[in-house]
Amino acid sequence: MEKKPAAFTIDLLDDGKTAKLSFGPAEGPHMVVMLEAEHVTGLIDALARARAAMQPEVRRNADGPVLVIHEPVYRTQVDTRSEDMSLALRHPGLGWIDYQMPLEDVANLVRIWSTALASLPNTSGGRVH
């Protein structure tokens, strides 16, 4: 069976609460589905799980274009049972993504960020704390 390229569009309706997803073959009839926020979140989660299992895998390095979120909301927490630390970052479209790391990795990040901060010019009037 020959694979035909698929096409899809997603439009946010004027109510700001509903997304219209249209998909189907590049040429031919399309199916239209109306999705509210919680259904979009469920679809994103399901697609992310499927993508994580697909080949080729998502590239392991950040060479090339990457998505940049400016001034993300974050929280940190230490898990006293595992002695791991978590860094949760809020993505405006994906929600909270929690990265749990062993303390050795956290210490390595602290060293890397400290070195980077030390190389910056004096930022006493900026946001660096």
**Per-position pLDDT tens, the chain of length 129:** 667 778 999 999 999 999 999 999 888 888 999 999 999 999 999 999 999 999 999 999 888 888 899 999 999 999 888 889 999 999 999 999 999 999 999 999 999 999 999 999 876 545 544
Query: Which of 106, 94, 110 shows the shortest CA–CA distance to 37?
Result: 94
Number of other residues whose CB lies within 10 A of the CB of residue 39? 14
* Domain parsing of the chain, residue ranges: 6-53, 73-118
Is the pTM above the cut of 0.75? no
